Amino acid sequence: MDSEETGGGDTGRSPAAAAAAAVRRPQWSFLRVVVSFRRWWREMVVETVHQGEVIERRRKECALSSRYLFMTAMSAGIAILGLLLSSPAVVIGAMLLSPLMDPIMGLGFALAIGDYRWLRQSARSLAWGTAMAVGLCALIVFMSPLQDITPEIASRTRPSLFDLLVALFSALAGAYAMIRGREGTIVGVAIATALMPPLAVVGFGLATANWTVFWGALLLYITNFVTIALTVWAMARLYGFSVTLTERQSRWQNFVLGAVFVALVVPLGLSLRQIAWEAAAARQVRTELAENFGSAARLSQPEIEFDTDPMRVSAFVWTTSLQPDAEVRAEESLARALGTPVDVQLKQFLVRDEQSAEEAQLASAKAAEEEAARDRLDDLAARLAVAAGTSEDEVLLDRQRRRALVRAEPLPGAGLAAYAALEQRIAATEPEWRIELVPPVSDLPQVAFAGEEPDEPAREAIALAGWSAKRLGRPLVVSGPEAEAEAVRALLAEQGARVRLGDAGGALRLAWGDEATQ
């Protein structure tokens, strides 16, 4: 009898005890998974990061040097000229030159390890660079005959929650690249976060005493640099960068940084709410104008100026019957619907019938589309020319095959990874086009095996070498241990690169082949 009560299973337990054990088992399983993951992260990820090298490299790039100030000034000058000319290509060039990312990254790393001397150094570099950029841009605008608000300027005066998310994801990529030693990614991050253009718009607002532009652009700049710094801090802590603060000081630091992040989210969320209201208002405007002319009329896309008082609406209408009082009726109904005064300006064109109205609308839309396509091609050529460091005449555009090609000039300090990142960045904005940026002949990346198979850094280096060989149309030579060289040769051949095996002795290495021997 005793053996039955104390036998295997849960037969000797009360129902309450058995239920409690069933609840505890999943909880303990979950805790074991968490502990196992933390152990794996510490041993396989954190311990593979050379923290001393990362910190030393970041310290050097945060210094307030003559090079930093010179490059900041040049970037600011290019940015404000691109904004005044409304040239996206020139603005992108300013983003690539801007060194402001370095002290902002330094702020994040300094916060993560509790090094307030480094924090002050980074803050001083950022403050001097910011002040100089704003002052120089204001001076250029003050002396310039061009002081109109261009679309490029207007687009940087209304930050929203989406801008914060762009800065967040860009900072995650940048911090990962810095920690894992893949600095080539920073080229794309510099373009995405766009630190210098908002500063240039701040200078524009200061020079023209336009405080709406000034404060809107300043909020966008603060959003970008604070989000980047906080994200880098979080990534550095995640990768095990040690902090010298006490536990209480660390909690206080976390609270302050969280409060700063929330303080940014609130105004940006309100801005996003305003953008959503404007989108709804635009739909209301189109519906109201269409109802005033009936189903036989055709309406162009209304142009709406939300910042004016009253709000202005203008559009073209192709109608079989002119409506002299259409503007008055639309103003009254829109004012009631939107709760704000509206000034409606309509240009009416009399047509014979509904088919004529459709044909006129299509002709107008086609003309606008062709003009937009020409502008887009010009913009693509300009962006490729800036990325390649050459003139627009050197960019080859094949409209039939949608292929764009440009041969890049050597840029100081730019390796193959930088050119590949530039091509990828431009290609991402033109998914229908095949973008080919031919880099200058440069040193090929080093390939090192961690074991029998190439690891992730080795595969990235091989992919970069294959891309370079295809763009330049040159063969590659793989030398080194037979097994490793053959593995690299096979991976390069899969990419479509021409490759042959070289000497079997020594370390694994890649070299450019002799074109004449192929």
Question: In the chain, what are the domain boundaries?
Answer: 2-46, 49-244, 363-438, 456-517
Which band of pLDDT confidence, cut at 50, 70 and 90, is reported for residue 92?
confident
pLDDT digits (tens, 9 = 90+) for 165-198: 777 887 787 777 777 765 544 544 554 456 888 8
pLDDT band at 62, cuts 50/70/90?
confident
**pLDDT digit string (tens) for 233-292?**
888 878 777 665 556 666 666 666 667 666 666 766 666 677 778 878 888 888 888 888
8 Å CB contact between 428 and 407? no
pLDDT of residue 109 exceeding 50, the answer is: yes
Burial class (CB in 10 A: 0-12, 13-18, 19+), 247: exposed
- pLDDT score recorded for residue 427: 81
| Confidence label for 502 from pLDDT (cuts 50, 70 and 90) | confident
pLDDT grade, residue 9 (50/70/90)? very low
Q: What does the pLDDT look like over 15-50, one tens digit per residue?
A: 555 555 554 555 556 676 666 766 766 666 666 667
Give pLDDT, residue 135: 93
Question: Is residue 325 scored above 50 in pLDDT?
Answer: yes
Q: What angle do CA 337, 340, 345 make, to 5 degrees?
A: 85
CA separation for the pair 301, 313 (Å, rounded): 10
Helix/strand/coil for 246: coil
Long-range contacts, 326-334 (Cβ 8 Å, 24+): 326/289, 326/292, 326/293, 329/292, 330/288, 330/289, 330/292, 333/288, 334/284, 334/285, 334/288
Q: How far is Cα 478 from Cα 471, in angstroms, rounded to an integer?
A: 18
- Cβ atoms within 10 Å, residue 321: 11
Q: What percentage of the chain reaches a pLDDT higher than 70?
A: 77
CA-to-CA distance for 10 and 14, rounded, in angstroms? 8
C-alpha closest to that of 484 among 454, 517, 442: 454
Cβ 447 vs Cβ 466: under 8 Å: no
The confidence score (pLDDT) of residue 268 equals 65
Tokens of 413: 């300090």
Per-residue confidence (pLDDT) for residue 132, from 0 to 100: 92
Q: Could you tell me which CATH class the domain 49-244 is placed in?
A: mainly alpha
What Cα–Cα distance (Å) separates residue 240 from each residue in 11, 59, 178, 185?
A: 48, 18, 14, 22
Q: How far is CA 260 from CA 106, 194, 227, 353, in A?
A: 18, 21, 9, 61
Q: Determine the topology of domain 363-438 in CATH.
A: GMP Synthetase; Chain A, domain 3 (3.30.300)
134, pLDDT greater than 90: yes
